Chains A and B, each alone.
Chain A
Amino acid sequence: MRYILRRLGFYLIAAWAALTLNFFLPRLMPGDPTTALFARFRGRLAPEAMDALRETFGFTQAPLINQYVTYLSHVLRGDLGISVAYFPAPVSEVIATGLMWTLFLAGTAVIISFTIGTLLGIVSAWKRRGWLDTWLPSTLVFLGAFPYFWLAMVALYVLGFTLGWFPLGHAYGDDLTPGFTFEFIADVFRHAALPVGTVVIATLGGWLLTMRNSMISILGSDFVNLARAKGLSPRRVVMRYAARNALLPSVTGFGMALGFVLGGSLLTEIVFSYPGQGYLLVQAVRNQDYALMQGIFLVITLAVLGANWLVDLVYLWLDPRTRGPAS
């Protein structure tokens, strides 16, 4: 219990530091949201409009430190401010349009990739020098070495554009009404197939290698030999003895990956026109939309911290040593 509380305190401090960075980093960029709006217009907006825009967004000239204090107190109250790029929609509302889709898309991809990758890692370590172990890791690492953007474009071009097997984008068909109908859910999965598939292919190799390598070192250790000597079934030795211990490094990676899901799905979403959070972040940066940037960073930060906290809990279950001397 002490352990959990101590970790919690650590996460609070980390959250505060991240909030502070969130506030100051965007403001170091040159220019302001008003000028950024002009980029889209290239002369089609009269110069007079700039005064009107400044008036609209009501930019405060207050000292940065005062703005910082206001910002912190607003965040604590759950008020993320008004988005400039999507004025006058509140940031929380703008983020809500994409958050669920990103969580679904990237979450599914990471979980599938982690599960399959880890299982394949176990198998390939157990059946070392079998055909699986000879071909699979190298093929997957080869595929993962391609820039993800390129891989996704090729998949979209070949499977979506040329063969027409998959839809070219969006999270579901434009003419469907969202709801808990079989048709809608099937359509969501069909639209997710390509984006999830490409992410899985690009990341599978990493999980497999991590698991395989830590399995190999564990399989050589004394307690595994003991288990074998006791005459336990091979499956029991692999799963209960070796894999459980070999899983530790992978679980750490899993926590990190879950956290980065929210920020890292940017390329996927752009290539497949997926209505998610990554594209919003690009929009926010392009428009110097401080409030929206802060909001998205906040969500990412909380996700990373939350995922790590979960990993801590899983560690407690997987590895009795972390339960501390007290228990």
Chain B
Amino acid sequence: MRRIVLRWTPPLALVAALAFGAGCARHRAPAAQGVLVVSQEQQSSWVRNFNPLTTATSARWPTLAGIYEPLFVFNSVKTEVVPWLAVAREWRNDNRVLRITTRDSVLWSDGTPFTAKDVAFTFDLLRRFRALDRRGVWGFLEGVRAIDARTVDFQFQRVFIPGFDEIAAQQIVPEHAWRDVADPVAYPNETPVATGPFTEVRVFRNQVYEIGRNPHYWQHGRPFFEALRFPAYPSNDRANLALVFNEVDWAGNFIPAVDRVFVSRQPASHHYWFPLTGSTIFLYVNTTRPPFDDVRVRKAISMAIDRDLVNDVALYRYSRPSDATGLSDGYAAWHDDTVAAHGDWVRHQPAEAARMLDEAGYRLNADGVRCLLDGTPWRYEILCVSGWSDWVRASQVIARGLGEIGIQASVRTNDFSAWFQRVQEGNFDLSLGWSFEGPTPYLFYRWLMSSATVKPVGEVAAGNWHRYGSPAADSALTAFEREPDPAAQGRISDRMQQIFSAEAPAIPLYPNPSWAEYNTERFSGFPSAQDAYADPSPNKFDRGECLLVLTSLRPR
């Protein structure tokens, strides 16, 4: 036996090498005409799940982005609510009832008509299975009732105007397909029946899947192309490589030095647009611990930070320094420019910061380190997540800035879970962290300074990790909850921004970009700075914004 093996090994190896060599021509077949290749999730192999009601993570990306649709789409670039499955809304009975009129002539992908009953059914599912209620609508709702085929009434427990945004964003499922599902929480919904532009699963394999267009889509003539295609890429690097090689048409990845790495390879068709509509990144200070309970200290820390340098070092200049409202560009329509113009506590002025601390009585000791009034020197750690290199570099810039005004700060990286546990329990001095996004500044400021969100140290808090409650903010937030008139809401929002700038509950650093890269070789109509009709990022699926893009793209 062995003799044979020995004698045959070299020829066999040669044959194998030739076989490989023969098939090794540069082989990169482009996707078929009219098929948009998208890379948003990073997975090594796909698991078939199109359940739009379970948490966003377990269902495949198109479930929320293109298969199922919400009542209203929120356009974060224009700060605008776009009627989608619903065409009108109205507050009634002293704003205790929200009446929603659904769109006529919408069909489910199996041809059944979509009615108000489907809406009522969906919300009833959320009530019966709390695990599905990820927006917490049953925290303020009392009941949902279909009045007729096109009208739904939402009865509220109390007046809560921001509740509309959460109802508007809910994806609707068909009653006739979901009525008999025993456990909708664990239901993989492998063959979806939906109202969106893409509903037909044409191919599903572990490395790639395709969703074809909905034959009954209510926007007649749209979408303009045949299908969406999703190759599985396990890492950011690999997905970026595919993007550079024209294997992917649309992606939402972080790319370092995007101009050099991506655009310069094919400037005519490689494009990106990173609008600053992501969540604002903050330096949170634990306000339960002195000296961070002192607003002068918080502002002095803020003034010690060179945000331009942060943008430069940590973010490849993709962002801009935050202003004194802390709001990202996703709130452009709400933004109070006067507050921003006057809020100079977010500008880099270390001399002024040092003077403020001197004045407040926090003097330097013999080692040049500032001390509490009892003489304890200020030595703090800035927490961030290991591997999140933008945060780590930003923290290093901050630490150096703090050193200049006599605060000894060091950067401490933790594994994500460990870090998250510490900030949630309030077990930190300084930490980087994100903020919460929503269509109005209500949610954003509520988790920054409402007393209602303050949890005692040691208890897990979902937000408001710095544990700051402001009576002035409480009354503004309550007024906002009860005000249905947009103009009056705007005035209350201005007041919230003034309160934020005056009290500085947390230190805004920079708004996160919304990552979006696209290839116009095979498709046109992506949003861009010149044609800013929607957020360009495939990551903005939660409130249906991707639908705006998917129904606008045209094949070349």
Q: Do A and B come from one complex?
A: yes
Using a CB–CB distance below 8 Å, which chain A residues touch chain B? 29-32, 35-53, 55-56, 82, 85-89, 93-94, 97-98, 119, 161, 164-175, 177-178, 186-187, 189-190, 193, 235, 239, 269-270, 273-276, 279-280, 283, 286, 288
* A286 to B388 alpha-carbon distance, docked (Å): 14
- Given contact pairs A39-B385, A50-B462, A87-B186, enumerate 14 new A-B contacts (beta carbons under 8 Å): A30-B421, A35-B420, A39-B416, A41-B56, A42-B279, A48-B136, A49-B135, A51-B130, A52-B130, A88-B185, A97-B45, A168-B245, A174-B208, A275-B232
A56 and B437 contact, CB distance less than 8 A: no
Contacts A38-B420, A39-B416, A164-B26 given: A89-B49 contact, CB under 8 Å?
yes
Query: Are A239 and B44 neighbours in the complex by a CB distance under 8 Å?
Result: no
B288 within 8 A of A: no
Residues of B within 8 A of A161 (CB): 241
Minimum CB distance partner of B422 in chain A:
A30
Q: A269 and B44 in contact (CB under 8 A), knowing A30-B418, A52-B55, A161-B241? A: yes
| Chain B nearest CB, measured from A249 CB (Å) | 19
How distant is A318 from chain B, measured CB to nearest CB, in Å?
Answer: 13
Which B residue's beta carbon lies closest to that of A192?
Answer: B20
Q: How far is A161 from B135 in the complex, measured between Cα atoms in Å? A: 44
Q: Is the CB of A36 within 8 A of B417?
A: yes
Say yes or no: A94 contacts B434, CB within 8 Å: no
Q: Would you call A86 and B233 a contact (CB within 8 A)?
A: no
Instruction: Bits for B524-548, please: 1 = Cβ < 8 Å to A, else 0.
Output: 0000000000000001001000000
Chain B residues numbered 122-142 whose CB sits less than 8 Å from any CB in chain A? 130-136, 139
Q: Specify the chain A residue showing the minimal Cβ separation from B130.
A: A55
Q: Which secondary structure dominates where chain B touches chain A? A: loop
Most B Cβ at <10 Å: residue of A53, A97, A119, A276? A97
CB atoms of A36 and B131 under 8 A apart: no
Given contact pairs A44-B279, A44-B539, A235-B3, A275 touches B58 in the complex (Cβ within 8 A): no
Q: Which B485-532 residues sit within 8 Å CB-CB of chain A?
A: 512
**A193 pairs with B134, CB closer than 8 A:** no
Does B185 lie within 8 Å of A275, measured CB to CB? Answer: no
Chain A residue contacts of B135, Cβ below 8 A: 46, 48-49
B187: CB under 8 A from chain A?
A: yes
Known: A56-B55, A87-B186. A47 touches B24 (CB 8 A): no
Distance in Å from the Cβ of A226 to the closest Cβ of chain B? 21
Most buried by B among A82, A170, A239: A170
* In the assembled complex, B23 has its CB within 8 A of some CB on chain A: yes
Q: How far is the CA of A269 from the CA of B234 in the complex (A)?
A: 9
Bound: A282/B441 CA distance, A:
37
Asked if B6 lies at the interface with its beta carbon under 8 angstroms from chain A, I say yes
Known: A56-B131, A279-B234. A49 touches B241 (CB 8 A): no
Q: Does residue B34 face the partner (Cβ distance < 8 Å to A)?
A: no
A31–B235 contact, CB under 8 A? no
Report how far A46 CA is from B447 CA in the complex, Å. 10
Min Cβ gap A175→B in Å is: 7
CA distance A190 to B18 in the complex (A): 11
Q: Mark B222-251, 1 if CB is under 8 A from A, else 0.
A: 000000000111110010011001000000
By the criterion CB–CB under 8 Å, are A56 and B54 in contact? Answer: yes
CB distance from A43 to the nearest CB of B (A): 3
